[in-house]
Structure 1
């Protein structure tokens, strides 16, 4: 006889019995224990063996719900699927889904990604995730995150005026989702559904402060007469002669230089923005500056060790502060030497591709990197010596007439 809601409510276990079963229909029954708990079960046979599927507790699962669950399980059985095994598979999937939160996958991606990055950059990326992204998305299953949810995180960062950080957060999240895709943890990358430019404010292109080419003679003379520390003066001279990035200059080690035979500075890939090696041919003037620096600070492995801690390079603000002291605050930066060099070298007729190579502007893939960093090296040597000679003429106040370089 089929059960009723009243019968379920009044069902009790008989005395001296651990449990008692009250049958409904089609193998469904309510199991009542001596302690008073009531559990819905469904009895069936699979591959010739009798099995029981636990459906849930009464009254949390009503009689009507239990019957629907029985019917669903019966459909699985007709399709050749064991309902008990299907339930176990769902539980496993749910547990995996909970474990594969955005934060857990992001940290796995980070451990994989950080190997080829500088410790400073890798630490910065992790701190930004911890500060801006994990509090919003960290506990969500990564497969459930949608583009609007990701956009909300970026908009929240943008709202405090950090437009660049918002776009970088979006890009980092996109890499994390790609990592999840590669490992079968999700089926779609929500970061590709919307472009940051579709919803975030456009970023104003930052231009480093730099002088006009006509102002270089006065700057060079002021550097020569700089009253600060000799090492700071020499760092500015070397910056002008080599026009490398400030970080590449202050982080230089003596073992990167060959002043005798090759007369070049080989900056390793890990210190370059493009993550490929870079060669800086050294003019006679640059070698003289380096020799003078060695006499002053040659005991350290670093070219420009810090004043207090000789195991760390000098501050990246050292050159900026010196320029400000000379009256160029807000008008010139260390990076500005690169822009001025590019302008003047083009005016002097040097080839654009050679200038760009020496500025390390060109993108390089893994296959061609070993070749590209030495491309046009003889021409670049001539250009760097011509540049140093040109700076000497500017400093001396000689009239310079641009000409087409050979």
Structure 2
């Protein structure tokens, strides 16, 4: 069984080697000196191995906890490597469909369709500055209250007209996302009339 003292004392060799802990967990020491947690298991009768993370970024206790999670997957009939691939793909898909990413795609499209460089720059700045609170969220998960909070923040700066322009731009982004199925509703539509009206000169 491994201990932190043993782990710290492991030295690199010309070839990678592994030292076992318990229940399939082991540490792999590479020629570079990197120490990597790996978990050995059998799925459908075939031996397999999955990399967990590097030590000491992930501690011995954390590696054992992750090993226990992976063991539970195996006992439930799942293949941890396949589960990891699915989770990785889901994260990549989520990262590719944030509001900011979809907005950037839309601005490229609008520029190609003839929107002036000045307008493109202004709208990009609006996404990066005024709508930053929702930029990192998956576009399908931006709710009416979340969008309203972002627009209210703009209003509190006294930039009422900017808030209205930001709502309109957000609406374009949601509409663009709906067409290919990356979102299923446009929360900006629910905020029509909900913002402070700009003062008109008398």
Band of TM-score, shorter chain: 0.7 to 0.9
Instruction: Work out which of the residue numbers 39, 57, 61 in structure 1 matches 2:58.
Output: 61
1:83 and 1:98 mapped to 2: Cα distance?
Answer: 22
Aligned-pair Cα RMSD in Å = 3.5
Would the aligned equivalents of 1:128 and 1:169 in 2 still touch at CA under 8 Å? Answer: no
Equivalent in the alignment of 1:195 = 191
Would the aligned equivalents of 1:105 and 1:142 in 2 still touch at CA under 8 Å? Answer: no
Larger Rg: 1
Structure 1 segment 205-224 matched on structure 2, within 5 A: none
Encode CA deviations 1:313-350: one digit per residue, 9 max, x unaligned. Answer: xxxxxxxxxxxxxxxxxxxxxxxxxxxxxxxxxxxxxx
1:172 and 1:102 mapped to 2: Cα distance?
Answer: 11
Q: Which runs of 5 or more residues in structure 1 are unaligned?
A: 208-406
1:34 and 1:160 mapped to 2: Cα distance?
Answer: 57
Encode CA deviations 1:86-116: one digit per residue, 9 max, x unaligned. Answer: 212222332333333433312434566789x
Equivalent in the alignment of 1:4 = 3
Would the aligned equivalents of 2:104 and 2:124 in 1 still touch at CA under 8 Å? Answer: no
Instruction: Work out which of the residue numbers 66, 69, 74 in structure 2 matches 1:72.
Output: 69
Query: So what's the TM-score if we normalise by structure 1?
Result: 0.41
Matched, 1:50 2:44: no
Q: Secondary structure at 1:22's aligned position in 2?
A: strand
Matched, 1:133 2:127: yes
2:184 and 2:61 mapped to 1: Cα distance?
Answer: 35
Equivalent in the alignment of 1:400 = none
Q: Secondary structure at 2:27's aligned position in 1?
A: strand
Q: 1:59 to 1:161 in 2, by over 3 A?
A: closer
Which structure shows the bigger proportion of residues in strand conformation? 2
Q: 1:156 to 1:113 in 2, by over 3 A?
A: same
Instruction: Work out which of the residue numbers 28, 31, 38 in structure 2 matches 1:31.
Output: 28
2:55 and 2:89 mapped to 1: Cα distance?
Answer: 24
Structure 1 segment 222-237 matched on structure 2, within 5 A: none
Q: Secondary structure at 1:65's aligned position in 2?
A: helix
1:10 and 1:187 mapped to 2: Cα distance?
Answer: 55
Q: Secondary structure at 2:90's aligned position in 1?
A: helix
Q: 1:160 to 1:44 in 2, by over 3 A?
A: closer
Q: 1:77 to 1:186 in 2, by over 3 A?
A: farther
Would the aligned equivalents of 1:133 and 1:153 in 2 still touch at CA under 8 Å? Answer: no
Instruction: Work out which of the residue numbers 127, 140, 147 in structure 2 matches 1:150.
Output: 147
Would the aligned equivalents of 1:132 and 1:157 in 2 still touch at CA under 8 Å? Answer: no
Would the aligned equivalents of 1:146 and 1:190 in 2 still touch at CA under 8 Å? Answer: yes
Matched, 1:18 2:12: no
Structure 1 segment 5-404 matched on structure 2, within 5 A: 5-13=4-12, 17-110=14-107, 119=114, 122-123=115-116, 126-135=120-129, 136-137=131-132, 140-143=136-139, 145=142, 147=144, 150-159=147-156, 161-186=158-183, 189-191=186-188, 195=191, 197-198=193-194, 200-204=195-199
Would the aligned equivalents of 2:36 and 2:53 in 1 still touch at CA under 8 Å? Answer: yes
Q: Which runs of 5 or more residues in structure 2 are unaligned?
A: none
Query: So what's the TM-score if we normalise by structure 2?
Result: 0.75
Q: Secondary structure at 1:100's aligned position in 2?
A: coil
Q: 1:90 to 1:202 in 2, by over 3 A?
A: same
Q: 1:89 to 1:23 in 2, by over 3 A?
A: same
1:83 and 1:95 mapped to 2: Cα distance?
Answer: 18
Would the aligned equivalents of 2:103 and 2:127 in 1 still touch at CA under 8 Å? Answer: no
Q: Secondary structure at 1:45's aligned position in 2?
A: strand
